[in-house]
A and B are shown apart, each in its own frame.
Chain A
Amino acid sequence: MKIMKITKYLFVGLLTLLMSLALAFSSLAAGPTEQIKAKSDLVMKILNDPALQNRKEKRRELVMDVVEDMINWQEVSRRALAIHWKKRTPQEKEEFTNLFRDLLKRTYSEKLDIYSGEQIIYENETIDGNRAVVKTKVVNKKKGTEATVDYRMLKKGEQWLAYDMVIEGISAVNNYRVQFSEIIASSSYDALIKRLKDK
């Protein structure tokens, strides 16, 4: 009996070791889904942390840190400015990227204030060279609502970084691009920068 128990524990121990090893190796070359999942799990952990329930400011900060290295900010900015990106000097590009990053991080972390127990279901991923799309579903079982959320990703070195989030068919980058180009067309690039700063 005792021997059986010991072998059972040994077996379980070995299995855990193997599994953690496999996990460690897979994270070395994390695919797009793993990358999104790892970051989303971190965000979920922060959101479900009872100690942070009443400390919204702290919670936002922690979420913002996770988001920071999940996204390819330059790619996001380049796509959002589209044809206007090429006309900007390197300094202007950097200034714009920083302003836009601050806005996105802030609004994303604020969005999570209305989080109420949603779960993420990973549907599938498609990889095409250095680009990938990770399709997910955000489900709220209690409310019976669900929304499709697709992450568009780009491989930078060995890491997959997101450059767009498509919620129910609405691309965030596309939405900003239309807003930006309309502001630039009706007034000027400087006016856009001013509005980003004021926001």
Chain B
Amino acid sequence: MKQPYFLKLLTLVAIALVFASVFPQYAQSSPPGEDIRGESTGGDSEDIRRMAPVADPIPAGEQKAIESPEPPEVKKSDAEAEAPSALKSGEAADGGVEEATEEEEIEAETETISDPLKPFNHLMFRFNDRLYFYLLKPVARGYKAVLPEKVRLSVKNALSNIATPVRFINCTLQGKLKSAGTELARFIVNTTWGVLGLFDPAKNSLHLEKAQEDFGQTLGKYGVKEGFYIVWPFFGPSNLRDTIGMTGDFFADPLFYINPHTDLGFVEVNTTYPTIGTATDKVNETSLTLGMYEEFKESAIDPYVSMRSAYFEYRRNQIKK
């Protein structure tokens, strides 16, 4: 029973890798064919765009940045440097260049996001939305009613403490040895003094801050492109790179290796504990942040686009750190 789950994960990674190799253009930030549309940024091109049934509408601002297709080996950080040069041609087509520096600054922030799976993603976004309102939120409210905040914060601390290897490994892989050391120190302090991680004296008394590193960020640091946007059911927004990262982190989770019945065989890992751990974490976290998702939806004109943009910006910022 346990093996198929593991196989599913492997299949997922395999599919992602195969997809990335078959459609390398999607594995980059810029989708193919966009340069054709991107060339006409004049006033009447808007009408053309409106008439043509575009399955995957990319904001006009994005199209500009896409104009100059970058070779695959160019690192992510160059995307920003590329934007202004791509902008000039767009500006010229637009007619006015009076506020060049100002506009340049505005456009420089323009992002390039590829979303070829939009119909699927949209569906998953709606699925997760319903999941939140009909299942997660009621469960989290009940949970909140039973457990005082202090207990719920301790649950959060303990789960985070267990997940130390994930952060430790990724700090090390990114060459952040000081952060890796901090993670190790935090684990030792919080597991002993913090009673199995229920409390966080490492932060509160010793000011040892947690290093929020994961495998997706590590891959990003090594220059792996983020790839297209994917919304996973249950897990929410992600992209190709972070999906692979998430799978990698799964295997760094010690809960995976708790198996009372068999030896620590690699293939015979037990998914029961990580599943319980993930579910508890989700409910616990929701109980601590009730109302936030509602506020997010309230503030957005198009919640799907808003979340997609926020996800990419947040991750890019995390990788820069």
Contact = CB atoms under 8 A, between A and B. Distances in A.
B248 to A, nearest CB: 23
Nearest to A79: B106
A159 interface: no
B175 interface: no
Contacts of A82: 61, 106-107, 110
Given A82-B61, A174-B313, A196 B153 contact: no
Contacts of B49: 185
A127 B43 CA distance: 36
Contacts of A143: 149, 153, 288
B309 A175 contact: yes
B302 A83 contact: no
Interface stretch (A7-15, A33-41, A45-53, A108-116): A108-116
Interface string A160-190: 0000000011110011111111111111100
A199 interface: yes
B153 A175 contact: no
The secondary-structure label for the interface of chain A is helix
B313 A169 contact: yes
B77 interface: no
Contact of A177 (B61, B153, B157): B61
B58 A185 contact: yes
Contacts of A107: 295, 298-299
B292 A110 contact: no
B111 interface: yes
A144 B205 CA distance: 12
B300 A179 contact: yes
Contact of B313 (A175, A183, A186): A175
Interface in B80-100: 90, 94, 96
A175 B54 contact: no
Contact of B301 (A142, A144, A171, A180): A180
A2 interface: no
A83 B314 contact: no
12 contacts: A83-B41, A83-B61, A143-B149, A169-B314, A174-B109, A175-B306, A179-B300, A179-B305, A179-B306, A180-B301, A181-B60, A187-B50
Minimum-distance CB pairs A-B, first 10: A169-B317, A181-B59, A107-B299, A186-B57, A178-B309, A114-B291, A179-B302, A182-B59, A179-B305, A170-B310
Given A107-B298, A177-B59, A179-B300, 15 more contacts: A83-B41, A84-B60, A87-B43, A114-B295, A143-B149, A143-B288, A144-B203, A171-B109, A175-B300, A179-B305, A182-B57, A182-B58, A183-B301, A184-B59, A185-B49
